[in-house]
Amino acid sequence: MNSTTRAAQRLKLFSSALFNHKKTTLFRPTFTRSFANMAATTDVQNYKFNHSMIRVKDPKESVKFYEFLGMSLLKKLSFPEAKFDLYFLGYDAPGAVSAGANLWDREGLIELTHNYGTESDPNYKINNGNVEPHRGFGHTCISVDNLQAACQRLEDAGYKFQKKLSDGRMKHIAFALDPDGYWVEIIGRKPVEETEGVKETDLKTYRMNHTMLRVKDGEKSLKFYQEVMGMKLVRTHEAKEAGFNLYFLGYGDEKQNTADREGLLELTWNYGTEKDENFSYHNGNDQPQGFGHICVSVDNIEAACDRLEGLNVNWKKRLTDGRMKNVAFVLDPDNYWIELVQNERFTGQANF
């Protein structure tokens, strides 16, 4: 039995524990929560785009890569009974936007999920979301101080690129490849003309800027993320000649320069897909797997779920489902999973 099969079996078992408490007693993460000091309502102004989850083959290589990009390993959660570990990485230097905050009071984190045994299976491969017919998730994006120097540093370290700065017509972006072949876009916060010839780059200034998802119907997805999830549209890029639009959404100040932000969501809509009844994107959780979900932390998990229930959302998992009473999963219009988790700042108690 290869690790792909084992991982699928573990996912089935984990899903049983997560969604149906009658089927298995595989594991029971400890969770404590007190609502004594919490408001009875929820305010989307307190929401944060906390993290994006991707599955990885070898956590040592993946953590090494993201630490090379300047991230810090903020927390590791281990579930040996279910045979997987979770690694949460983010920027934590003194000047970082979320520096020093608790894990769930941050934006722009990456969660790496490792299923035991995949690292030693030569046949195990991640779906990076960019290969037909399994496209969906596109990339994460890092914004840096000096674009050319940042890219050169990665190249000198031996990391591969999907697109170098010198490739194609778009000389202001590059795409590095992480150990699993996920695309990591690299953009500069200054015009490329200003950073030409600069040889130094400061990792302490880097930010995990956004996560990109392809969507079938741009109008429908915008409505969902704004009216249901409470995000604000901060920038739109129309590429009419190329036949696509890009929408950048997030929480907080929508007037802030998007390249200076962390925790944005980029939706890519290719014209015409909304008219094709048979068209759909791969959500990353069907086989072959790769991307898992995005996560929004909220001020009051129960009130937030009640609000969403009133908006008639589609659920993957309600709070009351399964043994894990501390997380819920909503489905967006393309069936991407959105995790909801309590922001500990509003309870003063740990989630896990």
Catalytic residue set: 339
b/e code 267-306 from CB counts within 10 Å (16+ = b): bbbbeebbeeeeeebbbbbeeebbbbbbbbbbbbbbbbbe
Q: Which of 153, 142, 145 is nearest to 189 (CA)?
A: 145
Adjacent-strand bridge partners of 198? none
**266 labeled part of a ligand binding site:** yes
DSSP code per residue over 59-91: HHHHHHHHHHTT-EEEEEEEETTTTEEEEEEE-
Reported for 237-245, long-range contacts at CB under 8 A and 24+ positions apart, including other chains, are 243/270, 243/271, 243/272, 244/268, 244/269, 244/270, 244/271, 245/218, 245/269, 245/271
Contacts with 158 (C-beta within 8 Å, 6 or more apart), sequence order: none
- CA-CA distance, 339 to 326, in Å (whole number)? 10
Tokens of 55: 């599955």
Adjacent-strand bridge partners of 267? 213, 247
DSSP code per residue over 110-137: EEEEEETTGGG-TT---B-S-STTS--E
**339 labeled part of a ligand binding site:** yes
Could you tell me which residues are annotated as the binding site?
266, 293, 339
Could you tell me which residues are annotated as the binding site for Zn(2+)?
266, 293, 339
